[in-house]
Amino acid sequence: MNLTVLLPRVAPRAQARVRTWWGKAWARALEEAAYDDGDLKAARAIARAGRVGSIEARPGRLRAAVEDASGLWSVEVEVPVLEDAALDALVANALPQAARRGFEGEPGKPDVITSGGAVVLLGVDAGDPEVDLNPPTYHFETAFTLAVLADTIEQAGTMMTAIGAAIVADRTLGDTCDWAEGASSGLDEETMTGVDGYVEGRCLVTTAYSTTNPLG
């Protein structure tokens, strides 16, 4: 699936058009993290003069043509994407009948486990990046802990196998990371008898992402 969007050139304007709170927060974060006052003043003048050409946007990356007094330039911004949303989509495709919880802030384990089972995102561990200095490269690694809830041990195993197969088939989670790896942590011994109404298995999904941009 092609997720690239091409935005047209913005016409000259007297002032910035950022009106939403999240747009203002995004602009402020970029300004505070990457530029000094001189650069900001020049960049704002270029943008308001309509000298920023069409913008190509795709997951994690933006590219635009920019014209200043020195000529025409191609400017690219690279940032990490929200991999939990991509993992949610992968689980939905692998287990379309299973309920999914925790991926978008929903409450935890469901009270009732349906015949399709359930997959719950229990936690996300995103540590600090490792840094290579020549050239400067930032290596991010994020670990997602999933609980797989099913009626039987066999069903839990089948569900974890389906998630693993989906990761093998799409190691980049739809181009949202450089590499994804899945591993089973086994079954929760306290639920193996099924007396609680379900059997719980655990999966650990680890994603890796590298960028040369310090904003990443």
Comparison of pLDDT for 22 and 200, the residue scoring more: 200
* Full DSSP string of 173-200: TTTTSSEEEEEEEEE-GGGTT-TTSSEE
The packing angle between helices 83-94 and 153-169, to 10°, is 120
- 181 CB burial (10 A radius; 0-12, 13-18, 19+): middle
Interval 124-135: pLDDT, tens: 887 677 888 777
Taking only the tens place, the pLDDT of each residue in 55-80 is 887 656 778 888 888 888 888 876 65
Strands 99-101 and 71-78: unpaired
Whether residue 61 contacts residue 53, with contact meaning beta carbons closer than 8 Å, is answered with no
Q: Look at residue 72 in the predicted model and tell me its pLDDT.
A: 87
pTM of the model as a whole: 0.61
Least confident of 11-25, 56-70, 104-118, 146-160: 11-25
What pLDDT, on the 0 to 100 scale, is given for residue 190?
74
- Count the neighbouring beta carbons within 10 Å of the beta carbon of residue 35: 13
The single residue listed with the structure tokens 């020195």 is: 70
Q: Domains in the chain, please, with CATH?
A: 5-78 (no CATH), 83-211 (3.30.2000.10)
CA terminus-to-terminus distance, the chain? 24
- Proportion of the chain in helix, strand, coil states, percent, rounded to 5: 25, 35, 35
Residues 173/83, Cβ–Cβ less than 8 Å = yes
